[in-house]
Structure 1
């Protein structure tokens, strides 16, 4: 099997409205962004690039011996898309990569073997892309004209008998570089890689999210 040349992209803006400077907050004594940097280093990726417009984030990334690409102002605004940031990284690298791995700093906790197993699945299946998903066991419904209408179950149905529904957990994405250059993260031949692990519920946007991540980290690593 041909070895695919991989690049891990870690997009890290300086601004955050709900949790100021969240990418710099110390989680278990380590800045949030460094958890994703360390995870990439542990997985033998050919190149790791942090994309940021923030000087402090840049300095931390450089101190951790990864490349930093200065992000232009228009890609650091609220309406900038993740794929546009990824494309910017690819277009400003002299090297050619087959595969892009997206690691978001807001998902700092990942099962140890997740990336290794996901990459193997991606290669063996010859997929265009791969995304991590997790099963949701909640009973969902809609409110229509002040009435609750069940969406994925019947009233009285047991939770264990629900039709499986999954959510995009954001732990990682793997995609062909050629897709990113077409402004796409996921292709038509996309594989949903199921991760049923407590870490999948962590996506840090608020102080409560951060505190929950700290709790899980202490529980699993101490």
Structure 2
């Protein structure tokens, strides 16, 4: 089976300008995902971007950028499925062999568990019953929403001001790394399918850089030199 790593790196971030190429410890964010993909041993490592500047940076760090994104896949409102449709169409247009499996490496996640992702790839290859694999990490389950400034629990608080996490149960964050099957029929809103295997990873691998505060937290961790951090860096 052909396995491609895709690093999606749109250039138009508004909340934190040029987020995907911000530097940590001398490397732009996309470089961490590219190096991880290389360590995985995927058949190809491709960066999907709409920017010529990002393309040049990705190529310097070892990724292929055989084409730039189409306009519809580069809009602020574009979702993963739009990028996947664009990838498929461009693979056909540029006569690039379509992969069986894609490893989706969002550059805003710097920390990843190599052995766990390798396990996920092999599981998807060996078990056709699974539609995809996602790395997940445990997160706070006692969450609230605001309604006109009033706190409303999204869980059963049993009419108590404090409730133990154990009494609510475990909840998990997704989105760090996805591994899924890729073909012409699998480009819609439900591209991960309904039989998704979750692989629990360390909480540090769930740190997502959405804004400058997130960036500063991750930057401090990367530059700390701690062994528990370094093992998830590439």
Q: Structure 1 length as normaliser, TM-score?
A: 0.87
Structure 1's consecutive aligned runs of 4 or more residues displaced over 3 angstroms after TM superposition are 141-150, 179-184
**Which one of 64, 69, 72 corresponds to residue 67 of structure 1?**
64
Residues 1:81 and 2:90 are matched in the alignment: no
Corresponding position of 1:15:
12
Residue deviations 1:19-40 (CA, integer Å, cap 9, x gap):
1111111111101111101100
Q: What is the DSSP-based 3-state SS (H/G/I as helix, E as strand, rest coil) of the residue aligned with 1:42?
A: helix
Does the CA-based 8 Å contact 2:116-2:199 persist in structure 1? Answer: no
Corresponding position of 1:96:
98
Corresponding position of 2:107:
105
Higher fraction of strand: 1
Does the CA-based 8 Å contact 1:129-1:191 persist in structure 2? Answer: yes
| Equivalences, count | 217
Q: How does 1:132-171 map to 2 (within 5 A)?
A: 132-142=135-145, 146=150, 148-149=152-153, 151-154=155-158, 155=160, 156-168=162-174, 170-171=175-176
Residues 1:215 and 2:217 are matched in the alignment: no
Does the CA-based 8 Å contact 1:122-1:129 persist in structure 2? Answer: yes
Q: Give distance in 2, aligned partners of 1:90 and 1:115.
A: 23
Structure 2 residue ranges without an equivalent (≥5) = none
Q: Give distance in 1, aligned partners of 2:101 and 2:111.
A: 22
Does the CA-based 8 Å contact 2:2-2:99 persist in structure 1? Answer: yes
Does the CA-based 8 Å contact 1:140-1:153 persist in structure 2? Answer: no
Residue deviations 1:77-104 (CA, integer Å, cap 9, x gap):
1111112112211222220311111111
Shift of 1:143: 5.2
Does the CA-based 8 Å contact 2:142-2:153 persist in structure 1? Answer: no
> What is the RMSD of the two structures over their aligned residues, measured on CA atoms?
2.2
Q: Give distance in 2, aligned partners of 1:167 and 1:214.
A: 21
Q: What is the DSSP-based 3-state SS (H/G/I as helix, E as strand, rest coil) of the residue aligned with 1:92?
A: helix
**Which one of 174, 198, 217 corresponds to residue 204 of structure 2?**
198
Q: Give distance in 1, aligned partners of 2:203 and 2:73.
A: 32
Q: Give distance in 1, aligned partners of 2:84 and 2:106.
A: 11
